[in-house]
Amino acid sequence: MICSWCWFIHPATAISTNRNGSRTLGIVSSLSRDLRTAVTLFLADPVFGPYDVTAFDEIYDIFNHRLLSFLTRMAKNRSVAEDLLEETWLRLVSGGEDLHADTRLGPWLFTVARNLYLSHCRSRAREHSYTADLILLWPGGLPPSPFDLASLNELEERLEAAIASLPPMYREVLLLVGVEQLRPVDAARVCGISPESLRQRLSRARGLISRFLAPSEPRPVHRGRS
């Protein structure tokens, strides 16, 4: 369990400096739908000042589930994802003091998580095929009715299988933009590529998903002469 006295910043929040030179939290105007209810944090000095346990708990709750979902889908193994998630938080605990004042913590955390996943793949010499243990976080609406539940579960299973079938370079951009709703420019920074390259990969990923989910065409039936 990560210690609850570390400072965290809202994923759509950057540190700004007021006229007196002290650090305050500036909330950016564009929040993704799942974060619009987040609490605005006011800390006299989020880096060097007193810690706010309540603030940490709120931000940890927002980030932890999203990072675990991303890492589980990338690693295709829940146990590996949990290990990488813990290391992601430890990297923030150990390196938080070195973050620049204008750091956007959301993209920063996903960058750390992604790099840890890539390091894991390199340490194993290859990317293993693990049994999928995926968390279904694809954005959706109201809970399905009992009448629709069977078909909905089938669609979710097919969608998860489609995501898992993508090469990592396409899977990560689809997860960051389509599931985690990062801005394309932030997702490009996470992946270490240009925004144009990200758009190309995202388009390719969506095309592969569409082909995976498309119904197969029935084979023509050739009838012999009677």
DSSP 46-95: TTTS---HHHHHHHHHHHHHHHHHHHHHHHS-HHHHHHHHHHHHHHHHHH
Domain segments of the chain as ranges = 1-134, 136-213
The Cα–Cα gap between 147 and 172 comes to: 33
Q: Please choose, from the candidates 183, 156, 204, the residue with its C-alpha nearest in 3D space to the C-alpha of residue 29.
A: 183
Contact 58, 38 (CB under 8 A): yes
Chain mean position to CA 199: 17
- What is the pTM assigned to this prediction? 0.54
- For residue 44 the two structure tokens come to 């006299």
- How is domain 136-213 classified at the architecture level of CATH? Orthogonal Bundle (1.10)
Q: Which residues contact 136 (CB under 8 A, 6 or more apart)?
A: 156, 160
pLDDT tens for the chain, 226 residues: list them. Answer: 333 323 333 334 433 333 333 333 333 333 333 333 332 333 333 443 444 555 556 667 778 899 999 999 998 889 899 989 988 888 876 766 666 767 787 888 899 999 999 888 877 644 333 333 333 334 444 455 555 556 556 777 788 888 888 999 999 998 998 888 899 999 999 999 999 999 999 999 988 888 887 766 555 555 555 4
